[in-house]
């Protein structure tokens, strides 16, 4: 049968790309390996007769999410991870022992349940389970509420991402240690002209500057000039 070599090929590709992703120290190379994992998983979905999910996997994961990740990696100019010395050497044998116990446990449970756990496929090869029509029908009839909740979730993610990534500008005079920097320029009536992005901290720094340098009367003088 053709399915078994295909499964072995794409499964091996997925595992190999995943191991390469973890082993790479350059984040860009890990991202490219992760794209390999996604594409081989899409091929595995095709062997499971789920063409819609396979297409969405390629479009959303390999197309949208990974482009975003690669974009951020290049934007931040990420350097390679430095190899650092291992602390806590005694944990290595402990972890090996615990992993061996876990594998033995899993093998025991598999052996225990091997009689009843043999699942035969229910679907016929030409049933329309994985096709777009059945998924759309399910999404817009039985599972309409989860679908709508998902759209609200996406809206929240949109707002959150914009809020997080927005540049919040701190004014120069508000930086601690930089209080005595020259204050903002005065307007024609001697009032402080607020620049965009200035906060209450700027006003306090301005007032402190005036008190310390004896210029507290300066606005009054300019006010007098304005009346003249």
Partner 1 sequence: MIPLTWYLALSSVLFTIGVVGVIIKRNAIAMFMCIELMLNAVNLTFVSFSSYFGDVTGQLFVFIVMTVAAAEAAVGLGIIIAIFRNRESLDVDDASVLKL
- Which parts of 48-67 interact with partner 1 (CB under 8 A)? 48-50, 52-53, 56-57, 60-61, 64-65
- Which parts of 168-227 interact with partner 1 (CB under 8 A)? none
Residue pair 17/43 in contact (Cβ under 8 Å)? The answer is: no
Shortest distance, position 63 Cβ to partner 1, whole Å: 11
Residue pair 184/173 in contact (Cβ under 8 Å)? The answer is: yes
* Site for partner 1 contains 45 (CB under 8 A): yes
Question: Which of 9, 73, 172, 174 touches partner 1 (CB under 8 A)?
Answer: 73
* Site for partner 1 contains 31 (CB under 8 A): yes
**C-alpha–C-alpha distance, residues 57 and 38, integer Å:** 7
Closer CB to partner 1, residue 38 or residue 206? Answer: 38
From first CA to last CA, the distance across the chain in angstroms is 100
- Which parts of 79-98 interact with partner 1 (CB under 8 A)? 81, 84
Find the part of the chain contacting partner 1 (CB under 8 A) among 121-129, 180-188, 189-197, 208-216.
121-129
Shortest distance, position 35 Cβ to partner 1, whole Å: 10
By C-alpha distance, which of 38, 47, 42, 41 is closest to 6? 47
Angle, alpha carbons 158-164-167 (nearest 5°): 120
Shortest distance, position 200 Cβ to partner 1, whole Å: 19
**C-alpha–C-alpha distance, residues 46 and 54, integer Å:** 6
Both tokens assigned to 216? 């507290």
Closer CB to partner 1, residue 165 or residue 200? Answer: 165
Containing 31, the helix (H) or strand (E) segment is helix 27-47
Shortest distance, position 104 Cβ to partner 1, whole Å: 15
159 contact partners, CB below 8 Å, separation of at least 6: none
Question: Which of 122, 145, 200, 217 touches partner 1 (CB under 8 A)?
Answer: 122
Both tokens assigned to 172? 């120069």
- The residue count for binding partner 1 (CB under 8 A) is 71
């Amino acid at each position: 049968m053709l399915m078994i070599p295909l499964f072995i090929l794409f499964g091996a590709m997925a595992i190999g790309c995943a191991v390469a992703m973890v082993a790479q120290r350059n984040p860009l190379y890990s991202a490219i390996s992760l794209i390999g994992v996604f594409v081989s998983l899409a091929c595995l979905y095709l062997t499971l007769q789920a063409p819609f999910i396979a297409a969405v996997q390629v479009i959303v994961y390999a197309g949208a999410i990974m482009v975003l990740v690669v974009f951020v990696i290049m934007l931040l100019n990420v350097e390679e991870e430095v190899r650092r010395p291992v602390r806590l050497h005694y944990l290595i044998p402990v972890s090996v022992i615990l992993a061996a116990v876990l594998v033995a446990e899993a093998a025991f449970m598999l052996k225990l349940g091997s009689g009843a756990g043999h699942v035969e496929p229910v679907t016929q090869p030409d049933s329309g389970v994985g096709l777009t029509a059945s998924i759309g029908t399910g999404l817009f009839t039985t599972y309409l509420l989860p679908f709508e909740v998902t759209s609200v979730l996406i809206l929240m993610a949109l707002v959150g991402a914009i809020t997080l990534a927005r540049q919040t500008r701190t004014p120069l005079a508000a930086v601690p240690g930089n209080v005595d920097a020259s204050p903002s320029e005065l307007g024609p009536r001697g009032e402080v002209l607020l620049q965009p992005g200035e906060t209450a901290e700027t006003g306090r720094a301005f007032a402190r500057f005036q008190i310390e340098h004896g210029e507290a009367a300066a606005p009054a003088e300019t006010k007098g000039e304005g009346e003249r």
